[in-house]
Amino acid sequence: MAMPSLKLKTFYERSPIAVQNLMSSVFGVIKRLDERGPLFRKIFRELEETQWWDRERLRALQIERLRNILRFAQEHVPFYGKSFAEYGVSWRQVSSMEDVRKFPMVTKEDLRSRRQELIPDVAPDSRVLRMSTSGTTGSPIEVLFTHRTLVAERAWVVRHRTWGGYDPRKWRGTFGGYRIVPIQQNEPPFWRFNVPWRQIHFSTLHMSARNLRFYAEALRRYRVEYLDGYPSTLYLMARYLLNNGQTIPMRAVFTGSEPVTEVYREAMEKAFACKVFDFYSMTEKVAGAGECEQHNGYHVCMEHVVVEVAPLGPESEYGKDIAGEVVGTSLVNTAMPLIRYRLGDVAAAAPAACACGRGLELIGQVTSRLRDIIVCPDGRHVSACSLTHPFKPIHSIEESQLIQETLTDVIVRIVRRPNYTKADERRLEEGLRERLGPDVRLHFEYVEKIPRTATGKFAAVISKVSTELWGPSEHSTAGQ
Ligand SMILES: [Zn+2]
Q: How far is the CA of 293 from the centre of ligand 1 (A)?
A: 6
Q: How far is the CA of 60 from the centre of ligand 1 (A)?
A: 20
Q: How far is the CA of 57 from the centre of ligand 1 (A)?
A: 17
Is a pLDDT exceeding 70 seen at residue 103? yes
Q: How far is the CA of 319 from the centre of ligand 1 (A)?
A: 26
Is a pLDDT exceeding 50 seen at residue 174? yes
Is a pLDDT exceeding 70 seen at residue 383? no
Q: How far is the CA of 355 from the centre of ligand 1 (A)?
A: 6
Superfamily of domain 373-478: ANL, C-terminal domain (3.30.300.30)
CATH topology agreement for domains 6-50+151-363 and 373-478 = no
**Which pTM was predicted?**
0.79
Q: Residue 338 and residue 107: Cα distance in Å, rounded?
A: 9
Q: How far is CA 121 from CA 42, 80, 298, 442, in A?
A: 28, 12, 35, 44
Please name the helix (run of DSSP H) or strand (run of DSSP E) that holds residue 172, with its range, or none: strand 171-175
CA atoms within 13 A on the CB side of 110: 19
Q: Residue 467 and residue 39: Cα distance in Å, rounded?
A: 47
The 10s digit of each residue's pLDDT in 325-378 is 889 999 999 999 999 998 877 788 888 889 999 999 999 988 654 345 677 887
Q: How far is the CA of 296 from the centre of ligand 1 (A)?
A: 6
Q: How far is the CA of 349 from the centre of ligand 1 (A)?
A: 16
Of the pLDDT bands very low, low, confident and very high (cuts 50, 70, 90), residue 246 is: very high
Q: What is the pLDDT of residue 368?
A: 53
Is a pLDDT exceeding 80 seen at residue 134? no
Q: How far is the CA of 204 from the centre of ligand 1 (A)?
A: 31
Domain ranges in the chain are 6-50+151-363, 373-478
Q: How far is the CA of 198 from the centre of ligand 1 (A)?
A: 27
Q: What is the pLDDT of residue 384?
A: 66
Q: How far is the CA of 48 from the centre of ligand 1 (A)?
A: 14
Q: Residue 193 and residue 195: Cα distance in Å, rounded?
A: 6
Is a pLDDT exceeding 90 seen at residue 118? yes
**466, exposed or middle or buried, with CB in 10 Å at 0-12, 13-18, 19+?**
middle
Q: What is the pLDDT of residue 437?
A: 87
Q: How far is CA 222 from CA 87, 150, 175, 249, 353, in A?
A: 58, 30, 15, 13, 39
The 10s digit of each residue's pLDDT in 42-59 is 999 999 999 999 999 999
Q: How far is the CA of 210 from the centre of ligand 1 (A)?
A: 40
Q: What is the pLDDT of residue 411?
A: 95
Residue range 95-114: mean pLDDT, rounded: 91
Q: What is the pLDDT of residue 315?
A: 43
Of the pLDDT bands very low, low, confident and very high (cuts 50, 70, 90), residue 379 is: confident
- The CATH class given to the 6-50+151-363 domain equals alpha beta
Is a pLDDT exceeding 80 seen at residue 421? yes
Q: Between these two residues, 279 and 26, which has the higher pLDDT value?
A: 279
User: Do 229 and 174 touch, CB atoms closer than 8 A?
Assistant: yes
Of the pLDDT bands very low, low, confident and very high (cuts 50, 70, 90), residue 228 is: very high
Q: How far is the CA of 316 from the centre of ligand 1 (A)?
A: 30
> DSSP assignment of 208-277, as one string?
-HHHHHHHHHHHHHTTEEEEEE-HHHHHHHHHHHHHTT-----SEEEEESS---HHHHHHHHHHTTS-EE
Q: How far is the CA of 144 from the centre of ligand 1 (A)?
A: 32
Q: What is the pLDDT of residue 25?
A: 79
Binning the chain into helix, strand and coil, the percentages to the nearest 5 are 35, 20, 40
Q: How far is CA 309 from CA 126, 306, 322, 326, 399, in A?
A: 30, 10, 10, 5, 26
Is a pLDDT exceeding 50 seen at residue 470? no
Provide the β-strand partners of residue 224: 171
Cis preceding-peptide flag for 196 (omega within 30 of 0): no
Q: How far is the CA of 101 from the centre of ligand 1 (A)?
A: 26
Q: How far is the CA of 421 from the centre of ligand 1 (A)?
A: 50
